[in-house]
């Protein structure tokens, strides 16, 4: 394929306003699906230089160096045997004629090919590659069907659905329009600009001029450039601006031509709790708060809005933003005043009116179970449990307040504030505020020990309860966020180094639930397996390989901090020179022990040793066992593996000199016992055979 037959392929779907929180995922999925479709159809392209773009009103792909057609395909076909292809007079038979027709040739044009079985008719043909225009629309249709659209919708009288109604379509290969239709729109060369500044339509002369055409029409189509523009304009407006990364991403998907506008509200609203101010500005109005220069922990009465218009009357735009924030702040102040009239613990009885899940009871039931679990955990870990137990009982009370009813994202945060106002201890208040953490990927775990205990109690109670009610997650459906709960538990246990057996933690939650719901025999195992699956994902995200994770999980761990030490020790060990050889030997030993039908004891008779290599290995195992066992009891797996690395030479020598499966039964059983003891020594840390 020559360079002149290649060009950039532009695909643009023009839509009504797309959902900002899902837009990045939809764009990336569209990009990957179309690239995969082209590559599967043997259309060459430059993946590295290809890009995807999105704004609130468009999804666009600019795929670099796309070939105009598939390459021609050379085919070779073998036909009937020559003896069957011609009769005695040399005339072609029906078999020869049929084969010739199937390859589009005359019998005289066929070749012959010979092998040790005889001589056969043979034909070389060339199948012409399909043009890009015949392939692109089926590829686009398939890609659209596979998009992770949260709520697909239909419009007009169409029988198809998409995330939003589509109003225009562009499919350009260089300067050439590829005619066709998708989602009810015929492809053209015209796009739309900014709704106010330059609506258009605007003609795109060539796919490579796409970004320039839109920029002239007041649209920054490149989301990365648009995001940088927003961030720069925010900091220029006020260096003290607080930029939440998730809000920045969302606002980036709400505007096409961002302009920062500095606004303010009356200082009297600063009496509203800090968290409520931020929620009003960020979550409800998509504004960026400005920090108080005298107290960076609080916000000032300034905020910055990102407008989607470059207005000639900035004062009017500012007034509009200030007008919409005041009622929200006034509501928050009213809710605060009303909520303060009741102590937090007076709301506990109200929790019994709220169903958490019909089979496992009310939120009040859950709070009482959490309180008992927190108390048990504190006692087991010798950390004290009074504050954690009290915090767990009160942890859900703020759900019954007006403030959290209006601002659900403040649950926990307002509970902490109201606990302090109600005279609860700082430890109890802090634990209430922290117990939802970590709320999302990358969020911090609770800082206080009481917060950690309450968070664990909340998560394990939910996991056990929902599994007991037979509502475990399936596929993408996880209405109770059990995967997030389990991952949060994993992080708290490991990162806070809480030495409590995972099975015991689950058993405590099962015991608390047993008075309300039948606990089936397999429940503990099912919950444990679910948590371990999240644990695998946690370690993969940290960059550990699957084999390393499996090797650690195969050990006799009981607490997650203990497992974590084993995994890190194995990871360090695999960097040593002896590691590969010992891993291979462990795999060999495992295979021998697994395949043998012999029954052997752990006791080894040194009088049955025939070779010196047997005796040397036996002595080394005994010596190292005495040295390693004290280290294992302390959880010092790094030094244990360092010592065990000394077994490389005697193990290698043993396998070089000794036939394990000797015909003499006594010798064979003794050698199997020796190898079994050797493997058990390593297995106390992890299964090295997995790493071979």
Answer whether residue 511 shows pLDDT above 90.
yes
Transcribe 622-686 into DSSP letters.
HHHHHHHHHHHHTT-HHHHHHHHGGGHHHHHHHHHH--SS-SSHHHHHHHHHHHHHHHHHHHTT-
Exposure class string for 451-470: b at 16+ Cβ within 10 A, else e: bbbbbbbbbbbbbbbbbbee
pLDDT, position 479: 85
pLDDT, position 680: 84
Question: What percent of the chain shows pLDDT beyond 90?
Answer: 54
pLDDT, position 499: 92
Q: Are residues 435 and 287 in the same domain?
A: no
CATH classification at residue 461: 1.10.3210
| Cβ(85)–Cβ(113) below 8 Å | no
CB-based contacts of 413, cutoff 8 Å, min separation 6: 273, 275, 433
**Residue of 527, 524, 448, 450 whose CA lies nearest to 490:** 527
Q: What is the SS3 assignment for 587-630?
A: HHHHHHHHHCCCCCCCCCCHHHCCCHHHHHHHHHHHHHHHHHHH
Does residue 237 form part of some domain? yes
Domain end (from 127, 145, 170):
127
Selected residue with higher pLDDT from 123 and 38: 38
Averaged over 64-88, what is the pLDDT? 79
Instruction: Enter the tokens of residue 584.
Output: 């291979």
Answer whether residue 663 shows pLDDT above 60.
yes
Q: Are residues 123 and 161 in the same domain?
A: no
| pLDDT band, residue 24 (cuts 50/70/90) | very high
pLDDT, position 15: 94
**Residue of 392, 304, 391, 399 whose CA lies nearest to 347:** 399
pLDDT in tens, 454-468: 999 999 999 999 999
| pLDDT band, residue 317 (cuts 50/70/90) | very high
Q: Are residues 362 and 461 in the same domain?
A: yes
pLDDT, position 652: 86
Answer whether residue 168 shows pLDDT above 90.
yes
| Cβ(9)–Cβ(41) below 8 Å | no
Q: Are residues 478 and 577 in the same domain?
A: no
Domain end (from 216, 234, 259):
216
Q: Are residues 92 and 145 in the same domain?
A: no
Does residue 498 form part of some domain? yes
Does residue 318 form part of some domain? yes
Q: Are residues 185 and 90 in the same domain?
A: no
Averaged over 266-294, what is the pLDDT? 89
Does residue 548 form part of some domain? no
Does residue 553 form part of some domain? no
| Cβ(197)–Cβ(309) below 8 Å | yes
Nearest 5°: CA angle at 505, between 438 and 364?
A: 70
pLDDT, position 518: 85
The domain total for the chain is: 5
**Backbone torsions φ then ψ of 86, nearest 5 degrees:** -135, 145
Averaged over 663-670, what is the pLDDT? 86
Does residue 684 form part of some domain? yes
Q: Are residues 539 and 491 in the same domain?
A: yes
| pLDDT band, residue 649 (cuts 50/70/90) | confident
pLDDT in tens, 211-259: 999 999 999 999 999 999 999 999 999 999 999 999 999 999 999 999 9
Q: Are residues 370 and 434 in the same domain?
A: yes
d(CA 192, CA 452): 52
Question: What percent of the chain shows pLDDT beyond 70?
Answer: 99
| pLDDT band, residue 684 (cuts 50/70/90) | confident
Start-to-end CA span in the chain (Å): 45
pLDDT, position 509: 94
Does residue 367 form part of some domain? yes
DSSP letter for 114, please: E
| Cβ(163)–Cβ(19) below 8 Å | yes
| pLDDT band, residue 148 (cuts 50/70/90) | confident
pLDDT, position 574: 83
Virtual CA dihedral for 129, 130, 136, 142, nearest 10 degrees? -90
d(CA 644, CA 170): 65
d(CA 598, CA 657): 22
Mean of per-residue pLDDT scores for the chain: 89
* Strand-pair partners of 261: 305
Does residue 557 form part of some domain? no
pLDDT, position 50: 94
Answer whether residue 385 shows pLDDT above 80.
no
Q: Are residues 10 and 86 in the same domain?
A: no
Helix 560-573, helix 546-553: angle, nearest 10: 130
pLDDT in tens, 319-358: 999 999 999 899 889 999 999 999 999 999 999 999 999 9
Q: Are residues 432 and 520 in the same domain?
A: yes
pLDDT, position 307: 95
Domain end (from 189, 216, 243):
216
| pLDDT band, residue 594 (cuts 50/70/90) | confident
| Cβ(228)–Cβ(248) below 8 Å | no
Q: Are residues 467 and 416 in the same domain?
A: yes
| pLDDT band, residue 4 (cuts 50/70/90) | low
Averaged over 287-316, what is the pLDDT? 91
Averaged over 99-110, what is the pLDDT? 78
| pLDDT band, residue 3 (cuts 50/70/90) | low
| pLDDT band, residue 484 (cuts 50/70/90) | very high
Transcribe 247-292 into DSSP letters.
HHHHHHTT-SS-EEEEEE--GGGGGS-HHHHHIIIIIIT-PEEEEE
| pLDDT band, residue 651 (cuts 50/70/90) | confident
Averaged over 163-174, what is the pLDDT? 93
CATH classification at residue 653: 1.10.730
Pick from 96-110, 123-137, 341-355 the range whose average pLDDT is largest: 341-355
d(CA 356, CA 408): 16
Helix 637-644, helix 560-573: angle, nearest 10: 40
What sign for the dihedral angle of Cα 297, 298, 303, 306?
Answer: positive
DSSP letter for 309, please: S
**Backbone torsions φ then ψ of 322, nearest 5 degrees:** -65, -30
Q: Are residues 335 and 364 in the same domain?
A: no
d(CA 264, CA 292): 13
Instruction: Residue 118: give the domain boundaries.
Output: 74-127
- Low-confidence winner among 325-334, 469-478, 481-490 (lowest mean pLDDT): 469-478
């Amino acid at each position: 394929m020559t360079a002149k037959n290649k060009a950039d392929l532009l695909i643009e779907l023009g839509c009504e306003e797309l959902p900002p929180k899902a837009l990045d995922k939809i764009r990336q999925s569209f990009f990957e699906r179309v690239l995969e479709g082209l590559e599967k159809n043997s259309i060459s392209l430059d993946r590295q230089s290809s890009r995807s773009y999105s704004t609130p009103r468009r999804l666009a792909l600019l795929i670099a160096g796309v070939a105009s057609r598939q390459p021609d395909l050379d085919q070779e076909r073998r036909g009937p045997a020559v003896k069957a292809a011609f009769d005695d007079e040399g005339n072609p038979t029906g078999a020869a004629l049929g084969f010739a027709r199937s390859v589009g040739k005359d019998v005289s044009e066929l070749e012959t090919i010979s092998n040790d079985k005889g001589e056969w008719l043979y034909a070389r043909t060339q199948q012409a590659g399909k043009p890009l225009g015949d392939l692109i629309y089926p590829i686009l249709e398939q890609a659209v069907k596979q998009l992770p659209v949260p709520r697909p919708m239909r419009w007009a009288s169409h029988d198809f659905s998409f995330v939003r109604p589509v109003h225009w379509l562009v499919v350009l290969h260089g300067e050439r329009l590829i005619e066709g239709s998708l989602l009810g729109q015929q492809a053209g060369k015209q796009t739309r600009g900014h709704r106010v500044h330059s609506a258009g339509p605007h003609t795109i002369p060539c796919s490579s001029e796409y970004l320039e055409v839109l920029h002239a029409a007041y649209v920054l189509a490149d989301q990365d450039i648009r995001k940088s523009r927003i961030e720069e304009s925010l900091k220029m407006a006020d260096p003290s601006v607080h930029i939440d990364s998730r809000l920045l991403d969302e606002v980036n998907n709400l505007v096409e031509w961002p302009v920062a506008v500095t606004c303010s509200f009356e200082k009297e609203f600063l009496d509203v709790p800090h968290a409520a101010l931020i929620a009003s500005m960020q979550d409800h109005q998509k504004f960026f708060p400005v920090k108080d220069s005298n107290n960076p922990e609080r916000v000032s009465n300034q905020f910055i809005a990102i407008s989607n218009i470059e207005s000639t009357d900035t004062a009017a735009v500012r007034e509009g933003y200030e007008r919409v924030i005041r009622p929200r702040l006034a509501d928050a102040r009213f809710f605060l005043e009303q909520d303060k009239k009741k102590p937090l613990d007076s709301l506990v009885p109200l929790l019994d009116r709220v169903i958490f899940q019909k089979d496992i009871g009310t939120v009040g039931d859950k709070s009482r179970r959490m309180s008992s679990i927190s108390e048990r955990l504190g006692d087991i870990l010798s950390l004290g449990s009074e504050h954690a137990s009290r915090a767990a009982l009160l942890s859900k009370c703020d759900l019954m307040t007006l403030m959290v009813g209006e601002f659900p994202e403040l649950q926990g945060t307002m509970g902490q504030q109201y606990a302090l106002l109600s005279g609860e201890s700082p430890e109890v208040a802090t634990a209430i505020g922290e117990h939802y953490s970590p709320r999302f990927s990358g969020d911090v775990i609770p800082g206080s020990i009481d917060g950690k205990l309450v968070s664990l109690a909340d998560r394990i109670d939910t996991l056990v309860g929902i599994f007991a009610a037979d509502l475990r997650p399936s596929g993408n459906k996880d209405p109770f966020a059990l995967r997030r709960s389990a991952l949060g538990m994993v992080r708290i246990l490991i990162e806070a180094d809480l030495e409590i057996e995972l099975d015991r933690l689950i058993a405590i939650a099962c015991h608390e639930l047993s008075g309300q719901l039948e606990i089936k025999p397999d429940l503990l195992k099912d919950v444990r397996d679910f948590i371990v699956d999240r644990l695998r994902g946690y370690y993969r995200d940290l960059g550990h390989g699957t084999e390393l994770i499996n090797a650690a999980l195969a050990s006799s761990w009981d607490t997650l901090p203990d497992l974590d030490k084993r995994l890190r020790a194995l990871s360090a060990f695999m960097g040593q020179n002896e590691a590969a050889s010992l891993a291979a030997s462990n795999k060999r030993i495992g295979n021998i022990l697994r395949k043998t039908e012999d029954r052997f004891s752990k006791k080894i008779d040194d009088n049955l040793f025939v070779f010196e290599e047997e005796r040397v290995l036996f002595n080394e195992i005994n010596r190292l066992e005495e040295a390693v066992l004290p280290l294992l009891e302390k959880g010092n797996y790094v030094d244990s593996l360092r010592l065990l690395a000394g077994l490389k030479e005697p193990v290698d020598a043993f396998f070089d000199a000794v036939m394990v499966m000797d015909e003499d039964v006594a010798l064979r059983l003794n050698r199997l016992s020796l190898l079994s003891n050797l493997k058990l020594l390593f297995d106390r840390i992890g299964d090295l055979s997995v790493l071979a």
